A and B are shown apart, each in its own frame.
Chain A
Amino acid sequence: MELESIGTPPGGDRETGDESVPQGSDPDRDIVELIHRGDVRGALTTLMRRHGTAVYRYCREELHDRTLADDVHQQIFIQAFRDLTRFAGRSTLRTWLLAIARHRVLDAAKARRRAQAHIEEDDTADAPDPGPPPGERLDEARLQQAMITCLRRLGEHVRGILVLRYQQGLTFEELADMYRQKPGTLQARVARALPTLRRCIEARTGGTV
């Protein structure tokens, strides 16, 4: 598989339900200007309006726990408010925000693992999904359902990269900043992960992607 063919960056043409971003080197330049003017509260308000939903979906996908995701989502923006004045512009504001989100999600997941260490793993995730007759193409709903299960089996690191890459639309360069790895390395990981994901989905459902 050619690495260059992996994924068209989802970019700003997706409908997220959020406020459209202004043009410029950083789409959130207006927020950065608010920070520079000392209006940190105004900056936070715009940041929440613009990226709140996307960050929330990231939390939900990574944590698979609505209550925990609600809490972590709010904590992310509270931390962002505290750190906004230190935003140095080395990345876009959105990448910076997602880096905060990633760390908070990892912390929350780690805390949950510690708390539930004594509880046996829920094995419902391993139960095969009821699927169509073998070889039949999966419908969208079944594909989504199986994909969520299979993403959890990919491992935290790869899953995080896939979610940030596709759900959040980060470029490999932005991911490289966040993960402190080379863009090509991350691209190769994604290239390897997608067929694995496909095989998992097809094995679980008996259908084809």
Chain B
Amino acid sequence: MNDKEPIARLEHALEQLGAEHEPPRGWEARVLAAVEPKPRRRWWWLAVPALAVVLAVVLLPALLSPRPGALALTIERIPGPTRARGDTQVGDRIHATARGGAGHRAIWVYRGETDLVAVCPGGTGCSASGGALALDFALDRIGSYHVIALAGAAELPVPHGAYDEDLAAAMAAGATDQRQVIEVQ
């Protein structure tokens, strides 16, 4: 047998290898679609939503979290048993309430500039409920009563009796204050 003939036949068969196969329909379009340049987005198209997300993350908790209200001082005057109405007089009582402000609160009452007559907390007639601090005390002498409500994130200083100095110490500790003066005749 001629040995070259089978080899030639093999070579021919190799040339015909896979001749029945055709690429899948639409393949050229798929390749062209794959190489299609993607539209370039301007950076700020990405920056705008990114910024919105950042703002939402930063601001939303602050907006949604319960904000402590500003410090408020309310004073209710309670007339003594011998008097129904009119100016505040010896024998009347006051009920002072401090609400809002930061975590630490206090009510200090001075008669004149140097006489600390009531402190809350830590004194008689002081009570705390519902996030408010209340002080009830009797106006037993004539004079000018300075009622000070204080609130601060840090612990408030202990008052020593000198109105200006105590208030200055509280301010130095970052406290805010509300003040009212009651003239007792």
Contact = CB atoms under 8 A, between A and B. Distances in A.
Interface string A117-155: 000000000000000000000001001100110000000
Interface string B82-109: 0000000000000000000000000000
B15 interface: yes
A77 B31 contact: yes
10 contacts: A1-B7, A52-B28, A56-B23, A57-B18, A58-B18, A70-B23, A70-B24, A74-B34, A143-B13, A209-B10
Contacts of B34: 74, 78
B18 A61 contact: yes
B18 A147 contact: no
Interface of B: 3-4, 6-7, 9-11, 13-19, 21-24, 27-28, 30-32, 34-35
Q: Is the interface of A mostly helix, strand, loop or mixed?
A: helix
Contact of B31 (A6, A48, A143, A197): A48
Q: Is the interface of B mostly helix, strand, loop or mixed?
A: helix
Contacts of A165: 14
A108 to B, nearest CB: 16
Interface of A: 1, 5-8, 10, 14, 17, 41, 44-45, 48-49, 52-53, 56-58, 60-61, 70, 73-74, 77-78, 81-82, 140, 143-144, 147-148, 162-163, 165-167, 169, 194-195, 197-198, 201, 208-209
Contacts of B23: 52-53, 56, 70, 73
A158 to B, nearest CB: 12
A178 B47 CA distance: 48
Nearest to B9: A209
Given A10-B15, A53-B22, A198-B6, 13 more contacts: A5-B4, A6-B11, A17-B22, A41-B35, A49-B28, A56-B21, A57-B19, A144-B17, A147-B10, A148-B17, A165-B14, A194-B10, A195-B7
Q: Which 7 A-B pairs have the closest CB atoms?
A: A166-B14, A57-B18, A209-B6, A56-B23, A81-B35, A167-B17, A60-B21
Contacts of B11: 6-8, 166, 194
Nearest to B35: A81
Contacts of B32: 41, 44-45
A198 to B, nearest CB: 6
A131 to B, nearest CB: 15
Given A57-B17, A60-B18, A162-B14, A52 B27 contact: yes
A5 to B, nearest CB: 7
A144 B20 CA distance: 11
Contacts of A8: 11
Contact of A198 (B7, B16, B24, B31): B7
A194 B6 CA distance: 10
Nearest to B6: A209
Given A14-B15, A52-B23, A61-B18, A194 B35 contact: no
